Chains A and B, each alone.
Chain A
């Protein structure tokens, strides 16, 4: 397998982008990534040999399928009739698109590949958004009984609190931290500081989770350009390498898991990623994690190996995952503050990791970051993608 580098990144602002269409978001993030990659020589659209697009459900959100064709058409890839592929794995769609693009370059099939993550959720009214999102769970045996995504994570949270004594305050601190980081991210949906009391005062969505435990409904797109090491150096000297990228699966339904407080897919994907990169958790300088709900970040601390099972609540309480802590989590603001256009998230996480490793993250920069990680979840952990990145090594 060849070494794979990320040579360019682009991302739209995340948020309720009423004036922008699905295709406009796609093109905006793509153009930014092309510009970003053109440091030493211009990367042209026609230099892209293949593209992968991660999207959860434009079919339900926008009544538009066949996004791969839209991507090829609107970015000019039809000029060479280049292949474009849509990848779907619920909220891990972006991460799985990245994984497939990584394989396509590492294997030697292509030298330059684009990966786009895209979701436009606000075209659908909020009542219907809940229904669209729950299609990432088991429709006939979970959603049939009125289950929503907040309630699935609420059931994990309640069990985590029951088994390990995790507290509501610890959960709230995750949201407070991620809002603090997002405050410094110009592309974040929420640039607003919140307190633990704000979390307690926000309306209950699915007990024990309140509104401020939940990531928002968002629009947005992110694009990254991958290239093999040799090709990459022709375009830029600001290289970030993918040291490992691993994907894993678990049951579709949460109810079928033996342990509701562990995502085996995350444990498995991270084990492969650490082995491939020949690294250990202590070697990782920061993590962009999938905090779709606050409990998900606490479980990520544990499942990625940064603490023992059940100690996740203590990690946030002791400040270990703050931006200046031992292992910063979500310097971007995470899904909670940056926003969570579901299919875009896995790619947006890669964008943030690249900016951090290039030391271009300005006020939210993790000092001396050399090795970064991203953690992207689909559904209740039915799919997980864990990726490790490193500066030029």
Chain B
């Protein structure tokens, strides 16, 4: 299926900069951003402040995908998907610059900006924020 680039474009603040919403009434933080705090509901209208998440956190859990990858990830197996905790807010992401046997639950990771996949030869190139173990050299620039 072919999609309009606007589908990608409207998400870039959240994906590139980890922009989130903080409800100024209760202090809860949501990623991706929301227009309504599901706890404070109506009272949160107009009180959702844009903030950015910390760029360091830890691995909550992960899986290494060896087979049956999603479209656009076919040439990438094995690849590591993980849930990371960024100061109490959890997000789904990919891990890079490491081998599956080098990581464990609880390891510290840091954000890097990377190409995620492409919609074919003429389609949109999707970028986003993914994570790598903090022990890795910070000068690493190669795309996975």
Give the size of the chain A interface in residues (CB under 8 angstroms): 39
A130 close to B61 (CB less than 8 A): no
Contact of B71 among A128, A150, A152 (CB under 8 A): A128
Contact of A254 among B62, B65, B83, B105 (CB under 8 A): B83
Distance, CA A151 to CA B100, complexed state (A): 14
- From 56 to 106 in chain B, residues with beta carbon under 8 angstroms from any chain A beta carbon are 60-74, 76, 78-79, 81-83, 90-94, 100, 105
Quick check: which of A141-149, A187-195, A230-238, A354-362 contacts chain B, the rest being far away?
A: A141-149
Question: What is the size category of the interface that chain B forms with chain A?
Answer: 35 or more
A253 close to B65 (CB less than 8 A): no
Q: Does A363 contact B (CB under 8 A)?
A: no
Tell me the smallest distance from the CB of B23 to a CB of chain A, in Å: 15
Query: B105-124 vs A: 1/0 string, CB under 8 Å?
Result: 10000000000110000000
B63 close to A151 (CB less than 8 A): yes
Smallest Cβ-Cβ distance to B14: which chain A residue: A141
A145 close to B60 (CB less than 8 A): no
B60 close to A141 (CB less than 8 A): no
Contact of B63 among A126, A142, A144, A154 (CB under 8 A): A154
Q: Does B17 contact A (CB under 8 A)?
A: no
Offer 28 A-B interface pairs, CB within 8 angstroms, sorted by A: A127-B71, A138-B92, A140-B11, A140-B32, A141-B14, A141-B92, A142-B92, A144-B15, A145-B81, A145-B93, A145-B94, A145-B128, A146-B65, A146-B76, A150-B68, A151-B63, A155-B62, A156-B61, A158-B61, A158-B62, A159-B60, A203-B66, A205-B67, A206-B68, A207-B63, A254-B92, A256-B90, A257-B90
B residues touching A (Cβ–Cβ < 8 Å)?
11, 14-15, 31-32, 60-74, 76, 78-79, 81-83, 90-94, 100, 105, 116-117, 126, 128, 130
A residues touching B (Cβ–Cβ < 8 Å)?
126-128, 130-131, 134, 138, 140-148, 150-152, 154-156, 158-159, 162, 203-209, 211, 253-257, 260
